[in-house]
Amino acid sequence: MAGSISGDSATTVAGGQQQKTQPLAFLAMTCLFFFWGFITVLNDILIPFLKESFELNYTQAMLVQFCFFGAYFIVSPLAGKLIDTVGYQQGIVLGLLTTAAGCFLFYPSAELHLYELFLIAFFVLASGITILQVAANPYVAALGSEKTAASRLNLAQAANSLGTTVGPLIGAALILGVVAADASAVQGPYLMIAGLLVAAALLFRLIKLPVIASVESGDANSDDSVLNRRSLVLGALAIFLYVGGEVSIGSFLVNYFAESSIAGLSHAEAGEMVAYYWGAAMIGRLVGAAAMNYIAPTKYLSLNALIAIIMIIVSMNSSGDIAMWSILAVGFFNSIMFPTIFTLAVKGLGSMTSKGSGLVCQAIVGGALIPLVQGVAADSIGIQLSFIVPMLCYIYIGWYALRGADQS
């Protein structure tokens, strides 16, 4: 693979003007999207596992997501500065090694049976993934024509969705498949993941990826603040609400499907149905990657937001299979939102792209906060009506697609 993705390491590609995608470099980058999707979704397996192993209440168990998504908020701006200093390729190497360090920390956490150390491990792991996101998203967007950037990033995100689809299956077999909830069950799987990440870091250190001029060059210390870019700031808010809405829906599906008026499923049966939510996102990204070669990203994003809103309204006002499948369908329309919003937000930033990417990735903290808002709503007005919270998120996303993403 090192030989196939080769060439002069100083080779520069003018990202904004480049008309031909770099296919082998793109393939290498999609592997990163798979890695962090696979690792991130394992949280859904580990939360109930750690809850039982450490005899936690729900608030204590949700500290996993708080520490994980909190890393995006804290580390993203630092990651942007790091990438300005070392470049995108070396930033990817450091991101992989940091993620591996977080995985290695699972071993002493289990050995010492300390939940607090597990939380530190989650923060370190998520810090590495944050660096990868800040580096990889703009790099993929710049690996070819600006016109097809959203389509290209959606295709890479499809690999991320593949990771989120197979991750729970493997995690359930290796971790939840143990006879008793013993924290040591995570040691073997996470040591294997850490080993793979170190190998990937060595590979990315040795291969020669093209340098993207539009994101690698220019004055990284320009006095022009990214906060002056309207589309970027509004796009960061759209990412905050999108991630919050997506995570919030996913967090409530098991309890929602267990309601007698919805599906009356057991928690185990409801958990299996959640796979359709993430699987639909994978299919949607493949469809979106193709569709946005012909449809303007803003129009496609607004259409998806509109249909997501309709699906939530249908679910909130129905019961049985209709309520269940309509809320699951939101996963399909979620699919293209992150990569499309991202490319719209950082478009035209030039040398400030890494800073803009850091701001957008920082907004992923919405995944820690919006579910709490829906939780308060569920306690007040019931779980079915509480889906009005993510619905409001999609209303803003639809507005951003039509008005907020205007570059003028």
State residue 316's pLDDT score.
Answer: 96
- Which of 173, 197, 216 is a domain's end point? 216
Mean of pLDDT values over 231-239: 89
> Does residue 2 sit within a domain?
no
Q: Are residues 391 and 277 in the same domain?
A: yes
pLDDT in tens, 126-152: 999 989 888 887 777 677 666 666 667
Q: Which residue has the tokens 């008026």?
A: 261
- Which of 198, 216, 234 is a domain's end point? 216
Range of the structural domain that residue 170 is part of: 9-216
**Per-residue pLDDT for 13 more than 60?**
no
**DSSP per residue, 323-340:** HHHHHHHHHHHHTTHHHH
Q: Are residues 229 and 189 in the same domain?
A: no
How far from the centroid of its chain's Cα atoms is residue 353's Cα? 19
State residue 368's pLDDT score.
Answer: 84
Q: Are residues 167 and 46 in the same domain?
A: yes
State residue 267's pLDDT score.
Answer: 63
What's the rounded Cα separation, in Å, for the pair 57 and 79? 33
Provide the 8-state DSSP code for 13: E
Q: Are 288 and 334 in contact (CB under 8 A)?
A: no
> Does residue 70 sit within a domain?
yes
Q: Are residues 184 and 232 in the same domain?
A: no
pTM over 0.85? The answer is no
